[in-house]
Amino acid sequence: MSYKSLDPQDFLVSADTITAPCWSTLTNPETSLYTSSVQVAGTSGNYYLNVYNNDPSTNSSSEIQFNISYGNAFGSGSLLYDPGINGLSPTRTVYGQWRNLIYGDENTQFSFSTVSPTQQDFYAISIDRARFKESLLPGSLTLLLYSASKQITLTDDSLTSTTVSYCDAGRVFNIISGSNGIATATNTLGAINTGMTVSGSYGLFLPDIGTIILNASALDLVHASGGISLNTQRSSNTNNANPIRLYSTASGRIGLTTGSYTSSFSLNSQETITSDFVFCRARNAEFNYTENPSFISGSTGAVLYDLFVNSPTTYITTVGLYNDSNELLAVAKLSKPLKKDFTKEALVRVKLDF
Amino acid sequence: MGYLNNQIITVDAILTKKGREALAKNDGSFRITQFSLSDDEIDYTLFNPNNPSGSAYYGQAIEGMPLLEAFPDETQIMKYLLTTLPRGTAKMPIINIGYTNIVLKQGASLSITPQTLNYLGGSQTYETSGYNFTIGDVRTMSTFNGVGINTNTSTALNSTTTLGTNVSKTVIGTTLNMTGTTINTLFGNQTQLQTVLIVQGRDSGARVTIPITITKIS
């Protein structure tokens, strides 16, 4: 017999979580960021700003890492679609788009922790799908934003919060001052809670849709109050290009900057790999002969050496997995031949990834 | 006293063309139920039972050899299966189908009834479980049926599915009935099509591969 049936106990389904930095370089932090003047000048530039790992004008292999959009409940900060229809502009579209995704309700206002800012606007950093894979890893965010000679470091509160909150976009955590999921206790004027501001938290961390919502009102605060004086522009029927304001006009840095800071954006993706393990067992009396033509001498079928009559030796190189119809569905090769004879048993674990 | 090596060998498997086809069909045929081992690439003439250093060195030329990666073509891998036979077996089972190569005209039919020599000490010529007949390119045959083994599996395998790609087909039986394709477009500018027929004993594991040529008649 050449085929051996597998028992139900020979199968194991395993799901392993793989985490890695989100960026194309697979390293944290991402310190080299670029935008495209072509994209900014295009139609999509009215809605969002693509951020690349290399300069797309000189490097054809540059890849989008994330994009930044700005949403405003009143449509401020961008040109109106139609000057005669007040309030309908790309920023209003972006606001409604994210509100629909996050709250699933056209009447709900964005709130950050317990505060619902008067200025209903935000910045959305949406990680490229190929970068965040299945979801973002809570507790892995560290984002530096600069303001002149001052800086703030933002993270999510997933490691310190005792309960996980859910919205229409899955899990939601507050973005707070700190790094790697740990809040930093700062003397921020009027802060409603540790690591927050008078305008509430710095935003929302939505790992299941790969998005970071930043509270524009919090970022607009002066540094003593926890902000970076971002000075978000909210003019009516004017293209204020707020996403570029958050990104910075200096290449490679997120946030307003005039110094020689290096940008720093650390974030990990998370992915579940499901594997099937099949345990193939060859008992001592099994698989000790072979139909290999070099094992046979001549056309009579006699084994090559007399030694093989009572002490046959074979070498396993390949494992084949079959269905009931003897159709070969999957194969696995060993790295080197595995000796098999009547004194040896072999156990080979075959891994099938899906 | 030393430590025993109790490591499990872990290897990553790849799907064969047939495996991908079964997965895509989503009809339950991608269900692994059995395994087999093979020693493709091993040349047993490298085994030296006269090595002066002793029996531990008989397989010296084989045991350290590097192996190739797996091929996804199911007809090009798992060629030589390891088999379970009683200790003391002096002659290995051999399949005889009466042909060393087959040439079929378009639309011509042929029946093959294999025999297994040296099987069960030579007391039996035909294998109880029958034979697997695998054609390398299913498009070259308009009929490719196995008869003589009446199980649900063997019946299901005889069903015809129109496939536009070069994949293998396996049927089960004691006798194979096949007819060369009548479709001219498969030939293109050529006058003949070539593929292989693999016959494998389901009990003995013995295997023989025969080249098949289909010749164009018009």
Beta strands A314-322 and B34-38 are antiparallel
Mutation for testing the B interface, residue in A322, A348, A351, A354 having most B CBs under 10 Å: A322
> Quick one: pLDDT at residue A261?
56
A325: nearest CB among B65, B88, B170: B170
Residues 6+ apart with CB under 8 A from A297: A303, A304
A317: nearest CB among B16, B39, B118: B39
Phi, psi of A20 (to 5 degrees): -160, 160
Over residues A91-130, the pLDDT tens digits come to 999 999 999 999 998 889 999 998 998 889 999 999 999 9
What CA–CA distance (Å, rounded) separates A220 from A234?
12
Give A300-303 contacts, CB < 8 A, sequence gap 24+.
Answer: A300/B91, A300/B94, A300/B118, A301/B91, A301/B92, A301/B93, A301/B94, A301/B117, A301/B118, A302/B90, A302/B91, A302/B92, A303/B89, A303/B90, A303/B91, A303/B92
Residue of A nearest to B132 (CA): A326
- Nearest-CA distance A136 → chain B (Å): 28
| Residue A342 structure tokens | 């009547």
**A301:B91 CB<8 A:** yes
Q: Average pLDDT, whole number, for chain A? A: 89
**Which residues of chain B are within 8 Å of residue A304 when distances are taken between CB atoms?**
44-45, 47
- Nearest-CA distance A131 → chain B (Å): 26
> Quick one: pLDDT at residue B102?
93
**B14:A331 CB<8 A:** yes
Phi, psi of A38 (to 5 degrees): -65, -45
Question: At residue B1, does pLDDT exceed 70?
Answer: no
Over residues B62-84, the pLDDT tens digits come to 988 888 888 888 878 888 899 99
What CA–CA distance (Å, rounded) separates B51 from A43?
78
Residue of B nearest to A337 (CA): B63
A3: nearest CB among B31, B36, B41: B36
Over residues B12-66, the pLDDT tens digits come to 899 998 899 889 988 888 999 999 999 999 999 999 998 899 888 999 999 888 8
**B33:A322 CB<8 A:** yes
Over residues A126-163, the pLDDT tens digits come to 999 999 989 999 999 999 887 666 788 999 999 988 88
User: What is the interface pTM, i.e. ipTM, of the complex?
Assistant: 0.81
Task: Report chain A's terminal Cα–Cα distance, integer Å.
Answer: 31
Burial class for A40, CB neighbours closer than 10 Å (0-12, 13-18, 19+): middle
A324: nearest CB among B12, B72, B153: B153
